[in-house]
Amino acid sequence: MPVKFDPRNKEVLLSPARRKSLDMYRLLSLIPILPHHAIADIGCGPGFFTVPLAKYLWDGKLFAVDIKQEMLDAAKEAVDSERLSNVEFVKSTERRLPLKKDSLDGSVVAFVIQEAAGRESLLKEIRRCMRTPGWAVILEWHKKKSKEGPPVQQRIKDTDMMNLLKKTGFRVSTKRDLNNQQYMIVART
Ligand SMILES: C[S@@+](CC[C@H](N)C(=O)[O-])C[C@H]1O[C@@H](n2cnc3c(N)ncnc32)[C@H](O)[C@@H]1O
C-alpha cells in the first residue's frame, strides 16, 4: 500500500520554500480555469492550492476535498483567514467522492494520485464528477530519487500517468516540468 502524507507534517506543505518552487501565479497561468468555474481541489491538504484557487474563482465555487478531517480543518482555517466564502469542504473516502455527476468544470489533483490506494478508481471517480468540456490538472513527483517527497517506489512516471488518464476517460492536453522534481499534466474531458 502506498504511504500517505502524515497530517502532522502539514506545515511542510505551506512552507515558504514550497511557495518558491511552486509559484501560484505561474501555475494559475497554465491552468484553463475561468472565474465562474466549479472546481474541486482533490486531496486539498492544508489548503496550499485551495486559497489561491478560491481567490481566482470570484464568481465560481470550489470544493475542497480530502479523506482526512485534520487536513480539511487546516484548509478551512486558511480559507477563513482570507474571508473567502466560495469554498465547500467535503470529506471523501479512498475511492468515492461525494460530489454529483457532471458537477465540475475542473479538478486540481496535486500530489495525491501517487498515494491513493486505488489510483484508477480515484481518477474514474473524478471523471464521473466532471462535465464535458472540462479540465483536470494533475501535479506529481517525477519517478526519481530526491531529498523531499514520497518514496520513489510509489511515484508515477509521467508517461504512466498519461496512460492512466487516457484509460480513465481523459484526453491528455499538455505535460510539462514544473521544476526538476515535479511535473504537471493538463487533461481534458
Ligand atoms: C501530499 S498531500 C498534498 C496536499 C495538497 N494537494 C498539496 O499539494 O498541498 C496529499 C493529500 O491527499 C489526501 N488524499 C490521499 N488519498 C486520497 C484520496 N483517495 N482521496 C482524496 N484525498 C486523498 C491526503 O489526505 C493529503 O491531504
Q: For residue range 10-27, list pLDDT tens digits in order.
A: 999 999 999 999 999 999
Domain span at residue 83?
7-188
Q: For residue range 131-188, list pLDDT tens digits in order.
A: 999 999 999 999 999 989 999 999 999 999 999 999 999 999 999 999 999 999 999 9
Residue 3: which pLDDT band, with cuts at 50, 70 and 90? very high
* 41 within some domain: yes
* 123 within some domain: yes
* 48 within some domain: yes
* 28 within some domain: yes
CATH no. for residue 80?
Answer: 3.40.50.150
* 2 within some domain: no
* 87 within some domain: yes
* 86 within some domain: yes
Q: Is the CB of 141 under 6 A from ligand 1?
A: no
Locate 158 and state its grid cell. 509521467
**Residues of 9-20 as b/e, b for ≥16 C-beta within 10 angstroms?**
ebeebeeeeeee
Q: Is the CB of 155 under 6 A from ligand 1?
A: no
- Mutational test site, ligand 1, from 10, 112, 168, max ligand atoms within 8 Å of CB: 112
DSSP 15-27: -HHHHHHS-HHHH
Look at residue 122 in the predicted model and tell me its pLDDT.
Answer: 98
Q: Is the CB of 42 under 6 A from ligand 1?
A: yes
Q: Is the CB of 134 under 6 A from ligand 1?
A: no
Strands of 51-170 (E only): list them: 61-66, 87-91, 104-110, 130-141
Structural element, H or E, at residue 69: helix 69-81
Q: For residue range 89-130, list pLDDT tens digits in order.
A: 999 999 999 999 999 999 999 999 999 999 999 999 999 999
* 3-state SS, residue 94: coil
Q: Cβ distance 116 to 125 under 8 Å?
A: no
Look at residue 25 in the predicted model and tell me its pLDDT.
Answer: 92
Instruction: Provide the domain count of the chain.
Output: 1
Look at residue 62 in the predicted model and tell me its pLDDT.
Answer: 98
